[in-house]
């Protein structure tokens, strides 16, 4: 055997231990995105609900000239 083959045969990396089974990582990620999506969805139409607080100081969409 050549030196490279001997070196490659001796080169053995042990995998790092995982804190949980690999299937749980995408499940947790999907859960986090679901929660963030629900939080984002809960704040829909907030600007229209609080339009009375802006009063006359905010410019209107059609009055930019």
| Residue 9 CA: distances (Å) to CA of 3, 14, 23, 32 | 10, 14, 31, 42
Over residues 19-37, mean pLDDT = 97
pTM score, whole prediction: 0.52
User: Would you list the domain boundaries of the chain?
Assistant: 22-46
What proportion of the chain, given as a percentage, has pLDDT over 70?
A: 60
Give the chain's length.
Answer: 65
């Amino acid at each position: 055997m050549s030196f490279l083959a001997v070196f490659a045969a001796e080169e053995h990396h042990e995998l790092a231990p995982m804190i949980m089974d690999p299937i749980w990582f995408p499940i947790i990620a999907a859960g986090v995105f679901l929660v963030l999506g629900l939080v984002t969805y809960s704040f829909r139409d907030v600007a229209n609900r609080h339009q009375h607080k802006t009063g006359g100081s905010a410019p209107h969409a059609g009055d930019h000239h």
